[in-house]
Amino acid sequence: MSGHSNYIPKTGFERWLDARLPIARLAYDSLVDFPTPKNLNYWYTFGGILALCLGIQLVTGIVLAMHYVPHVDHAFASIERIMRDVNYGWLIRYMHSNGASMFFIAVYAHMFRGLYYGSYKAPRELLWILGCVIYLLMMATAFMGYVLPWGQMSFHGAVVITNLFGALPLIGQSITTWLWGGFAVDNATLNRFFSLHYLMPFMIAGVVILHVWALHVTGNNNPTGVHVQSKADTVPFHPYYTVKDGFAIALFMLMFAAFVFFSPNALGHPDNYIPANPLVTPAHIVPEWYFLPFYAILRAVPDKLMGVLLMFGAIAVLFILPWLDTSRVRSLRYRPTTRMYFFIFVVACLVLGFCGGRLPDDYVIPGLKSFQLLDADLNSMVWLSRFATAYYFAYFLIILPVMGLTENPLSQPKSISEPVLSHSAALPVGAAASPEKRG
Amino acid sequence: MLRKCLAIAALGLALAGGPALAAGSQKEPRTVEWSFNGPFGKFDRAQLQRGFKVYREVCAACHSMDLMSFRNLGQKGGPFYDPKYPNPNDNPDVKTIAKDFETSEIDQETGDIVKRPATPADRFPNPYPNEAAARAGNGGALPPDFSTLSKARMGGADYIYSLLSGYSTPPAGLEVPSGQYYNPYMLGDVSAFWKGKGHAPPGGFIAMPPQLAADKVTFDDDTKSTIDQQARDVAAFLTWASEPKMEERKAFGVGAMIYLLILAGLLYMSYKRIWRNVAH
Amino acid sequence: MADSVTGANPEHGADGDDPSRRDFIHIAAGVAALGAAATVAWPVVDQMNPAGDTLALASVEFDLTKVQLGQSVTIKWRGKPLFIRHRTGAEIAAAIKDDKAVLRDPATDEVRHKPGKAEWLVLIGTCTHLGCVPTFGGGDYGGWFCPCHGSHYDTSGRIRKGPAPTNLEVPEYAFLSDTVVKVG
């Protein structure tokens, strides 16, 4: 799929360039002529959307860094100065702060799509792992970015997250002190977080290049999970997918704009408009919404070290996923039982997110007193998050390995073109699961 | 589409977690039909002017507004904006207001700190020289800075309005600590001080005594100066001060949404044309 | 775009549609997308222009009673030095005498101060060559001398010798009263 090139330099300059630096050939092969399965649905547009998100964050971030002052005495005021005095500063700052949330919405959609269609399975294991690296870097970048406005949530969020490392035996305290550069989160911490927050997006961009490279080696997966067999299965990336991605991007931007212009603080927390005060902690510390599921896993465990390990384990398990799923069938479209477990998994993730935003002792069903189980009432958020956490890990560590061996999958089409040509009539799940019908 | 709805519902669920957190025991703020609500909302200039007067005559004695300069009052969208003076520094209303305040500067010849009348470029002077003095002057409580207050409180303008106009006599059985005042909208928990029967009353204690009173502020536009009116107007003013570019933002946003809708429509048609002959 | 559509997929290209309409939709979509990018580009460019708080400090008022006859005061204005010189009769006379001399950037002393206020000279204190700050009292013409590259200015701030192309710039200013000037 890679290696062969259809690029023909037309002008003298193109031939001259092609003999020295075949950059036009690279662009042509990867963005124009790249053969792409013709049955990709809208879930496959999130890759393009994510590229745009990264671009927006980079541009707005570089601009914000021109005005931001990374000092505990000036950080809060400098951001408000951007909002009040810098020309279009309000637009650039709100795009950046809401852009982080949009980035995570898109990345979660992208990941769930990969999980559903088995895009992590051979030969795309490295493609998936590179994606997980990007996700990890995104989380680190988003966390450090949230510290920069130096509001109450910034400060106390930084305190809580850096203290997680203190849970590690022996070296924990030294690591925390090293991260802080002092005895607490302070100016030194803010400065290094700013520096790293500026650096990491470029690391993300680097891994994105590897991610796209790996994609172009193996080619796209597709909703059937069946390998591309002939030219009839594919269309050139341009104009077929540039225009489809473009349309999806326009829709995504509509949602983005609705937040930026009409509800710019809906995804944030009011306490972050109070300047940081190390002596007073806000009544309820919550991370940004995209971290809530992991926060719920952390709090589900009564032991500090175990909680931290489980939280990191929730991400680590994604890295070994390609070897946990034992099925030979990629797409869950042809694995009805596993598909059911997958949808329960999605619900479990949502439940974790919901629990992460509540207090552990809050009732799940208000006012219903049940009974005390170990350390908490059964009808409490903490028990709900325990069940959801258990399912989260069970899905990866038990359900996927076992189902791959025991499940009897539906018959797959022989090629991508087959279900298209037969108009899905013969396929038991094709009619319901073929997203093109709904596109 | 179904799964798209699911994704949106997921986001909604995740968001529901946030606001629900602060739902303590206090009363939900009363909602007001603000002129600045909604995608086409704009501030009511007259209300902002009244609100500024309330701030200036009542609140400013204790509450700083460090991020505000006098010139902001005359900038586009501000309470004293006058299209005749695109540079707010030249706005006579702003100049007059600024002149009534004193600000300190260092005398370039002697090095002493001297007082001089403020200019439009100056910040609102802080009523206290430092945080310790502010606490000492208020029984240990720090009056919060008002620059971003409306964004920094759950409920925003509704909350400020409800709190200011919502002081009530503490129910019998509630022991109010000295130097504290009961307010049903205040974030907090009074159950430790509740000696009555049943549930503790909603709300919390606040170190600020009720500040507003009928006719305490005389409005220049003959609006009847009730507690409710003063609370409303100052809440509107503080909301403007928190987000002075809100009108610009919403106007830009309406244009951006229309443009994006057209763009999406064009791309959809282009997409349909390009794909029309591909079986997929 | 339309070319590449048919070119890329010739097997689907044969249909009876009016090609101009097909062109129009693709071109309109492409132009609209470029327009969106351009609209976003402007705020990114404009944010580098002076911000509201910077512009707010763009004008200063100055009390002239602080400057004795024959003295100058340097204040900071828009981040640059501003010379406010209370000129002596001799300086004014020397400046007027040189009105007829051969000047690189011809200007009479008359136009370089406000009418009837010949004793007050207000100048932006950066050399018009490359922006260094000239000192008073040096040079061959009794005015300012720039140490960086040797430009000589006279008592009216006019360039007389050296590499600078133009006279020291007179900012926009006005007398608010006999003793207060507003610069900017």
Eight-state DSSP code of residue A399: I
Chain A with chain B: Cβ pairs closer than 8 A: 145
Do the Cβ atoms of B154 and A260 come within 8 Å? no
For the segment A344-373, what is each residue's pLDDT rounded down to a tens digit? Answer: 999 999 999 999 999 888 888 887 777 888
What ipTM is given for this predicted complex? 0.90
3-state secondary structure of A37: strand
Helices and strands (H and E) in chain C: how many: 4, 10
| Inter-residue contact C135 to C145 (CB < 8 Å) | yes
pLDDT at A435: 40
Rounded distance, CA B98 to CA A286, Å? Answer: 41
For the segment B20-38, what is each residue's pLDDT rounded down to a tens digit? Answer: 444 457 889 999 999 999 9
Highest mean pLDDT among B108-122, C57-71, C91-105: C91-105
Rounded distance, CA A59 to CA A53, Å? Answer: 10
Out of A418-432, B43-57, B224-238, pick the least confident. Answer: A418-432
Torsion of CA B123, B127, B131, B137, to 10 degrees: -170
**Cα Rg of chain A (Å, integer):** 24
Name the pLDDT band for B116 (thresholds 50, 70, 90): confident
Helix, strand, coil fractions of chain C, as percent rounded to 5 = 35, 25, 45
**pLDDT surpasses 80 at B44:** yes
Rounded distance, CA A182 to CA A191, Å? Answer: 12
Rounded distance, CA C141 to CA C159, Å? Answer: 9
Rounded distance, CA A79 to CA B151, Å? Answer: 14
A397-404 long-range Cβ contacts below 8 angstroms, 24+ apart: A397/A317, A397/A324, A399/A338, A399/A341, A400/A321, A400/A324, A400/A325, A400/A326, A400/A327, A400/A338, A401/A324, A401/A325, A401/A326, A403/A327, A403/A335, A403/A337, A403/A338, A403/A341, A404/A325, A404/A326, A404/A327, A404/A328, A404/A338
Of C15, C33, C56, the CB nearest to B89: C56
Q: Where are the alpha helices (DSSP H) in B100-179?
A: 131-136, 149-152, 156-165
Chain B positions touching C61 (Cβ under 8 A) are 119
Interface of A with B in 128-147 (CB under 8 A): none
In this structure, the number of other CB atoms found within 10 A of the CB of residue A431 comes to 11
Instruction: Work out the average pLDDT over B76-84.
Output: 93
Do the Cβ atoms of B69 and C35 come within 8 Å? no
For the segment C102-142, what is each residue's pLDDT rounded down to a tens digit? Answer: 899 999 999 999 998 899 999 999 999 999 999 998 888 98
| Inter-residue contact B211 to B59 (CB < 8 Å) | yes
The rounded mean pLDDT for chain C is 84
| Inter-residue contact A187 to A194 (CB < 8 Å) | no
Q: Which residue of A has its CA nearest to B257?
A: A254
Could you tell me if B106 lies within 8 Å of chain C, comparing CB atoms? Answer: no
Instruction: Please identify which of the residues C26, C113, C149, C152 carries the catalytic annotation.
Output: C149
> Residue B56: what residue type?
R
- Residue C152 catalytic? no
Of A43, A90, A349, the CB nearest to B245: A90
Could you tell me if C33 lies within 8 Å of chain B, comparing CB atoms? Answer: yes
Q: pTM for the full model?
A: 0.88
Rounded distance, CA A252 to CA B4, Å? Answer: 12
Residue A349: which of B11, B1, B20 has the closest Cα? B11
Out of A242-251, A271-280, B16-25, pick the least confident. Answer: B16-25
Out of A35-39, B197-201, C44-48, C53-57, pick the least confident. Answer: C53-57
Rounded distance, CA A122 to CA C157, Å? Answer: 79
Name the pLDDT band for C183 (thresholds 50, 70, 90): confident
The rounded mean pLDDT for chain A is 91
For the segment A250-271, what is each residue's pLDDT rounded down to a tens digit? Answer: 999 999 999 999 999 999 999 9
For the segment C77-87, what is each residue's pLDDT rounded down to a tens digit? Answer: 888 899 999 99
Both tokens assigned to A407: 């499940």
> Please, how many CA atoms are within 13 Å of residue A16, restricted to the half-sphere of its CB?
3
Residue B30: which of B152, B182, B184, B147 has the closest Cα? B184
For the segment A190-240, what is each residue's pLDDT rounded down to a tens digit? Answer: 999 999 999 999 999 999 999 999 999 999 999 999 999 998 899 999 999
pLDDT at B21: 42
| Inter-residue contact A322 to A383 (CB < 8 Å) | no
How far lies A207's CA from each of A67, A126, A129, A171, C37, in Å?
28, 12, 10, 30, 25
How far lies B58's CA from each of B63, B134, B140, C38, in Å?
9, 16, 20, 47
How far lies B93's CA from each of B12, B54, B78, B80, C176, in Å?
46, 17, 12, 7, 18
3-state secondary structure of B101: coil
Do the Cβ atoms of C47 and A66 come within 8 Å? yes
- B169 DSSP β-pair partners: none
Rounded distance, CA A53 to CA B51, Å? Answer: 40
pLDDT at C15: 45
pLDDT at C101: 87
Rounded distance, CA A273 to CA A157, Å? Answer: 14
- C84 DSSP β-pair partners: C73, C122
For the segment A280-330, what is each residue's pLDDT rounded down to a tens digit? Answer: 998 888 999 999 999 999 999 989 899 999 999 999 999 999 999 999 999
Interface of C with B in 59-88 (CB under 8 A): 59, 61, 66
Rounded distance, CA B129 to CA B137, Å? Answer: 11
Phi, psi for A384 (deg, rounded to 5): -60, -45
For the segment A397-406, what is each residue's pLDDT rounded down to a tens digit? Answer: 999 999 999 9
| Inter-residue contact B239 to B41 (CB < 8 Å) | no
pLDDT at C6: 38
The rounded mean pLDDT for chain B is 89
State how far residue B39 is from chain C, nearest Cα, in angstroms. 20
Both tokens assigned to A65: 């860094």
Chains that touch A (3 or more CB pairs under 8 A): B, C
Eight-state DSSP code of residue A112: H
State how far residue C45 is from chain B, nearest Cα, in angstroms. 17
**pLDDT surpasses 50 at A426:** no
H/E run at residue C139: none
pLDDT at B104: 85
Residue reference for tokens 């803010």: A190
State how far residue C34 is from chain B, nearest Cα, in angstroms. 10
Do the Cβ atoms of A238 and C4 come within 8 Å? yes
Query: C19-46 and A46-65 helices cross at what angle (nearest 10)?
Result: 30
Chain C positions touching A60 (Cβ under 8 A) are 44
| Inter-residue contact A12 to A218 (CB < 8 Å) | no
| Inter-residue contact A35 to A189 (CB < 8 Å) | no
pLDDT over 90 percentage in chain A = 81
> Residue A321: what residue type?
L
Sheet-wide strand order for C80-86: C72-77, C80-86, C120-124
Name the pLDDT band for C13 (thresholds 50, 70, 90): very low
Both tokens assigned to B68: 């505000």
**Cα Rg of chain C (Å, integer):** 29
Which residues are CB-neighbours of A119 under 8 A, at least 6 positions away? A113, A127, A128, A221, A330
pLDDT over 70 percentage in chain A = 95
State how far residue A283 is from chain B, nearest Cα, in angstroms. 8
For the segment B215-265, what is each residue's pLDDT rounded down to a tens digit? Answer: 999 999 999 999 999 999 999 999 999 999 999 999 999 999 999 999 999
pLDDT at A422: 53
pLDDT over 90 percentage in chain B = 69
Do the Cβ atoms of A88 and C46 come within 8 Å? yes
For the segment B169-206, what is each residue's pLDDT rounded down to a tens digit? Answer: 998 889 999 889 999 999 888 888 998 888 888 999 99
* First vs last C-alpha separation in chain A: 28
Rounded distance, CA C99 to CA C167, Å? Answer: 13
Ranges assigned E (strand) in chain B = 102-106, 113-117, 181-183, 204-206
**pLDDT surpasses 80 at C25:** yes
In this structure, the number of other CB atoms found within 10 A of the CB of residue A133 comes to 17
pLDDT at A378: 85
Which residues are CB-neighbours of C67 under 8 A, at least 6 positions away? C73, C84, C85, C86
pLDDT at C12: 42
